[in-house]
Amino acid sequence: MSCTDKFVSVTELPGTPISLEQLEKNHSRYSWAAGFCTNKHVLELGCGAGQGLGVLGENASTLIAGDQSQYLLEIAKSHYRGRVDFVRLDAQSLPFSDASFDVIVMFEAIYYLPSVTNFIAEARRVLKLGGTVLIATANKELYDFNASPYSVKYYSVKELGRLFVSESFETEFLGETRVDGISRRQKVLRPFRKFAVALNLIPKTMRGKRWIKRLVYGKLQRMPAELTAEKNSYPLPKPIPGDRSDTEHKTIFCVATLK
């Protein structure tokens, strides 16, 4: 299977070496999202290779997964073998009828969208009243933040709040992985990371970042093809204020509910 899709180089594929922290974060966020999905019609956008779909689908009434990359969808399809419906799509123009879903999940993908306003308008259209959008995004307000090479724009807590409120959503926010709780090695290396980001020295691809991950995190794990629903095994994101900047967490979550 050949591939010319640029996003594949920045996507964690099954078997990709990742840190234990990243593996735990994936377990945590999908376990958290699964709590919204019981007996619901669920859509995951930017599903990538689909590692979290088994967790989301465990209790969902229906689950559809979408991505713009056919290459990534084929990887996911080959693993799930009919357990999940996959659709190639653009999150800014969804191929679904009005009021089709109860829950939309988008993890670590909103910053790739050229028009987030179009996405939110589409989310409003395809969600049922009272439905929710679950967003996870890297926190751009950390002083050593490093953007993905193909990102368009990252959004802060206050920016996400304004965007969703403008489309009749109510929002609440949570934070994941406190920076004051990271390992001593990570704390020591943060100033060097900031310096490397400023000089554009951070590799752009997952393959190129492996040596940095080993330096910062030590021994790496392999990304599984499917995460398991290990309830209560990982710390879940914690509520944070929605009216101020957050510089204490690596990842920001937004729960936007259509009113």
- For the chain, give the mean pLDDT: 93
| Res. 203 pLDDT band, cuts 50 70 90 | confident
| Closest of 56, 55, 19, 80 to residue 228, by C-alpha | 55
- Cα gap 21→19, rounded to integer Å: 5
H/E stretch holding 82 reads: none
pLDDT at 2 over 70: no
Please state the φ and ψ torsions of residue 250, each to the nearest 5 degrees. Answer: -75, -35
Residue pair 156/253 in contact by the 8 Å Cβ criterion = no
Please report which confidence band the pLDDT of residue 1 belongs to, taking 50, 70 and 90 as the band edges. very low
Q: pLDDT tens across 10-62, in order?
A: 899 999 999 999 999 999 999 999 999 999 999 999 999 999 999 999 999 99
Average pLDDT over residues 129-158: 96
Closest CA to 252 of 184, 198, 144, 172: 172
pLDDT over 90, % of the chain:
78
What is each CA distance from 180 to 205, 238, 247, in whole angstroms?
Answer: 27, 14, 10
Distance of CA 65 to the CA centre of its chain: 13
Half-sphere exposure (CA, 13 Å, Cβ side) for 193?
A: 17
Cα(62)–Cα(41) distance, rounded to whole angstroms? 5
**How confident is the model over 203-221, as a mean pLDDT?**
82
| pLDDT tens-digit readout, 65-79 | 999 999 999 999 999
Residue type present at position 200: N
Confidence of residue 199 (pLDDT cuts 50, 70, 90): confident
